[in-house]
Structure 1
Amino acid sequence: MLHDPETAVTKWDTAIRNLAVFAALAAIFEGTHDTADQWAQRGADAVNKGLYGDHLVLADGSPASPQDIADPLVRTMSATTLGRISAARHVLCYGAVQTAATLTVTRALGFRPRPAALLAGAAINLGTHLIIDRRRPLLRLAVRVGKGDYVKACTVVRAEGKAADSGGPGTALFELDQALHRTIGLAAAAVSAALAVRNTR
C-alpha cells in the first residue's frame, strides 16, 4: 500500500505543532509557579490557609478573646472559615499571575489560544491547588501512598521552644505539595494544548 508523502508531512507538522503548544504552555505554567505560589502569596494567607477548627479567631489568625467575641465591631470567624478564605484568596492570586503570564507570552509570540482552552487548564490548576493547600487532603493522600513516615520525620523547628512545623518550607509535606502542583501543571498544560489545537489540524 502506497503512502501519500504530503499526508505524512502534514501529520508530522501537526504533531510538531501540537507538541510545541503543549511545551510552551507547560513551560509557562512551570516558569510562573514559584512566583505565583511564593512571591505573590500574602504572608497571612500562607500561614492561615491550612487552619481548621470551630474555635473563633481574628482575621489575622490569632485566637479571639472573650472581649473580641463580645465586641460587634471586631470581626471573628471560625478557624476553618479563615483557612478557606485564605486558601481561596491565594489560589485566585496564583491564577491571576499564571493567566496573565500565559496571555502575555502566547500573544507576544503570535498565538491566541481559545479562552475555553485556557479556562480548562486554569480550572485544573486552581481547583487542585485549593484542595492541596488546605493541607488535610494532601496529608491523607501522603499517608495513603505510604509517605506518612516521611512526613513525620521531615519537619522543621522554626524557633527554640516552638513546636515543629510539619507543613511549611523545608518539610516533607511542603515538598510533596510542590511536586504535586508541578505534575498537575503538566496535566493542565496537556488539556489546554489539546483544546487549543482542536479543529485546527
Structure 2
Amino acid sequence: MSHVRAARFAAVYALLRAAGDLADHWVQTDHQATNKGQHDHNDGQSSAAGRRACAAHVATYTATQTAALLIGSRVLGVRLRPGPAAVALALSALTHYAADRREPLHRLADATGKANFVRLTDFGMNGAYALDQAFHHTVETAAALIASA
C-alpha cells in the first residue's frame, strides 16, 4: 500500500467512523431507535414497522456518511474515486441495516460463542450494543479499504 493510499484510507476511515457515531447517536430519531428491531413474533410488535424504522435510520445514516465523505475529502484534498466510494457506502448501509434489525446480529453472536455477552445488560454494560458497534466499526474499516482504492 502506498503512503498516499494509506493516508487516504486513514482519512476515509476517520470520516466514516465520525459520521457513523453522529448518525447513530444524534441523527437517528427516538422512534427509529426504539422500533427498528421489531419483529412479528414478539408480542405487540410489527416486522413491517421494524423494517420501515430501520430503513429510515439507514437512509439518514448513509446520507450522513456520504456528506462526511464528500465534504471531508474536499476539505482534506483527498481524491476518492466515485465507484469505490459508492461500493463502500453500499456495504456500510446494507450491513448496518442487517445488524440494526437485531436478530441477525444475535444469531451471529450465538454462532460465535457470544450468546451470553450479546444478552448482557448488567454491570454497566450492554453486550448487544457493544457487539453492534464493534460490527459497524469492522465493516467501516472494510468500507474505508474499498473507498481508498
CA offset at residue 109 of structure 1?
Answer: 2.3
Other structure's SS at 2:78 match: coil
CA offset at residue 170 of structure 1?
Answer: 4.2
Name whichever structure is richer in helix by fraction.
Answer: 2
Residues 133/55 of structure 1: CA separation in 2 closer, same or farther (3 Å cut): closer
Q: Give 2:134's aligned residue.
A: 179
CA offset at residue 189 of structure 1?
Answer: 0.3
- Whole-angstrom distance in 1 between the partners of 2:26 and 2:46: 24
Say if 2:8 and 2:78, in contact at 8 Å, map to a contact too.
Answer: no
CA offset at residue 181 of structure 1?
Answer: 0.2
Percent identical: 39
Give unpaired runs (5+ residues) of structure 2. Answer: none
Q: Give 2:61's aligned residue.
A: 94
Match of residue 188, structure 1, among 137, 143, 146: 143
In the alignment, structure 1 residue 46 sits paired with structure 2 residue 44: no
- Bigger radius of gyration: 1
Higher relative contact order (CA 8 A, sep 6+): 2
Aligned length: 148
CA offset at residue 142 of structure 1?
Answer: 0.2
Comparing 113-122 with 134-143, which one deviates more in the overlay? Answer: 113-122
Give unpaired runs (5+ residues) of structure 1. Answer: 1-13, 57-62, 64-77, 157-168, 195-201
Q: TM-score, normalised by structure 1?
A: 0.69
- The ranges of structure 1 where at least 4 consecutive aligned residues each deviate by more than 6 angstroms after the TM superposition are none
Other structure's SS at 1:53 match: coil
Q: TM-score, normalised by structure 2?
A: 0.92
CA offset at residue 55 of structure 1?
Answer: 8.4
